[in-house]
Amino acid sequence: MSVPTILLQARQIEARVVQIAKDIDKHYDGEEFVLLVVLKGAVVFAADLMRQIRTPFQLEFAQSRSYGNSTSPEHTPSILVPELEKVSDKHVLVVDDILDTGATYLALKDELLEREALSVRGCFLLDKPARRDPLFKPDFFGFQIQDIFVVGYGLDHAERFRNLPHIAQLPDTPE
Ligand code: IMP
Ligand code: MG
């Protein structure tokens, strides 16, 4: 496999993450929230983002799996959500690597509202709007990208490339 082409440099990401954290602080305005990291892809982004946030938050994790070893999602993402007492009566900010079709986020949001979350917002490093309703927009995001498969900064293809410090495009999109 040849080397992925760089799309977003580490420095560009770093600068944008600072801005997103400011927007989040402004939105919550000092009110505590739950920062819910969607494993595994959001780990790198969330680690950088949370260190720029000044509002107090409780850190929790959810696990989703939609791609397996391919580059196109299975239809229903499987999601593991924290138990009720961790999110009920709390504002929840879901942090994920990328918003693509939105299926993962919407399923997670439903589960959180069922567990009586006060509010649910979504924050994504990348926004790939091509394959979803144009009216469905992320609350917070870093960069909009075309309908291409990207890796790095936490995002993987078949568990590879998560450690790249930048976002890159795979040369050929294998199915
Ligand atoms: P959605 O449910 O279609 O919005 O997809 C969300 C999940 O699919 C993300 O959290 C990623 O794990 C994965 N995903 C979507 N696009 C890409 C990509 O280009 N590279 C790596 N993972 C992706
Ligand atoms: Mg993911």
**175, pLDDT greater than 50:** no
Question: What number is the average pLDDT over the span 110-127?
Answer: 97
Tell me if residue 127 is catalytic.
no
Mutate to test the pocket of ligand 1, among 72, 97, 108, 164 (most ligand atoms within 8 A of CB): 97
Contact 166, 7 (CB under 8 A): yes
Mean pLDDT within 115-133: 97
Nearest CA to ligand 1 atom 15: 100
**Nearest-5° angle of CA 12, CA 51, CA 110?**
90
Exactly one of 100, 110, 127, 133 is catalytic; which is it? 100
pLDDT in tens, 49-98: 999 999 999 999 999 876 556 666 655 678 898 889 999 999 999 999 99
pLDDT at 76: 67
Q: Is the pLDDT of residue 1 over 80?
A: no
Report the predicted TM-score, pTM, of the whole model to 2 decimal places: 0.93
DSSP labels, 133-163: -TT---SEEEEE--S--EEBTTB-BTTBSTT
User: What is the average pLDDT across 104-126?
Assistant: 97
What is the distance in A from the centroid of ligand 1 to the CA of 2?
Answer: 22
Cα separation, 83 vs 153, in Å, equals 28
Position 69 scores a pLDDT of 61
Helix (H) or strand (E) segment spanning residue 35: strand 33-39
- Contact indicator for 52, 80 with CB cutoff of 8 Å: no
